[in-house]
Amino acid sequence: MDIVIWILLLFLLFYEPIFGYFDFQRFKQKVKTDHKARLNYYNNTIIGLWVPTITILLLTIFTELTFEEIGISIPNLNTETLGKAVTYTGLGIGLLYLLFVLYFIIGFNFSDKIKKELTKKKKEDWEKSVIAPLLPVTESEKKRWNYVSLTAGLTEEVIYRGFTLFALAYLFPNLSIWVIIVLSSLVFGLAHTYQGFLMGFVRTSFFAILFCILYIGLGSILPLILLHFLLDYIAKLGE
C-alpha cells in the first residue's frame, strides 16, 4: 500500500500543477474558435478527477485502508484534535459559507433583485477573472457544469481531504496535525495554479485549510462534499 500512496501523492504534486496548467493554457486559446471546447474540457476534467478517486476507493477495497480513514463516514463532532476554539470557529465559518451560498442559489431562482445582482457580478468577474473562459455560457454548458461541480465536490474531497491528510499522517507520523493540514492544503492549492497565483494557489490553499478544519472537526468529508459542490455550482448562475 505504501508504494501506491507515494505514487498518488507524487501524481498530485506534479500532474495537476504542471499538466493542468498547460492544458488550461491550450484550452484558453482553443475556446476562442472551437464552440465545443468547454464541453470537451469539462469532460476531460471529470475523467481526470475520477481516475485518482477510483484508485483511492480501490485501495479501501483491496488493502487495509478503510473508508473511515479517508473520511467516508457518518459525521461525529471532534473537538479534541484541534481544540474547541479552532473547531467551533471553523464550523461557524463553514456554516456561514453554506448559508451565503444557499441564499444566492435560492434567491437566483425566486428573486429578480438577487438574479440581477449575480448577473452583474458575473459580468464584472468575467472581465478580470483568469478563469472566465472556463465558466459556462450556453445552456448545454451549464447543464454539463452541474456534473463538473458534483464531480469536483465529491472527488476533490476524497482526494485532497480524506486521502491526502491520511497519506501524510501515515507516511510521516511524527508531523504535527497543523503541518499536515498546511501541506495538504498547499497540494490542493498547487492543483489550482492554472487559476493564477493569488486567486488560484493562495486563495484555494486558504480555503483548503478551512476545509481541513471542518473535516477534522466533523470526522467526515460528507458535509464538505455538499459545500464544495454548492461553491462550484454557484459559478454557473447569472446570464
Quote the pLDDT of residue 16: 87
Question: What's the CA gap between 45 and 16, in Å, rounded?
Answer: 11
Question: What's the CA gap between 137 and 84, in Å, rounded?
Answer: 44
Q: Which residue has the cell 486567486?
A: 199
Quote the pLDDT of residue 238: 65
Quote the pLDDT of residue 182: 97
Please write the tens of the pLDDT for every residue from 161-216: 999 999 999 999 999 999 999 999 999 999 999 888 888 899 999 999 999 999 99
Please write the tens of the pLDDT for every residue from 45-95: 999 999 999 999 999 999 999 999 999 999 999 999 999 999 999 999 999
Q: Are 25 and 130 in contact (CB under 8 A)?
A: no
Of 65, 23, 56, the residue nearest 42 (C-alpha): 23
Is the model's pTM score more than 0.75? Answer: yes
Quote the pLDDT of residue 112: 85
Query: Average pLDDT in the 23-42 region?
Result: 94
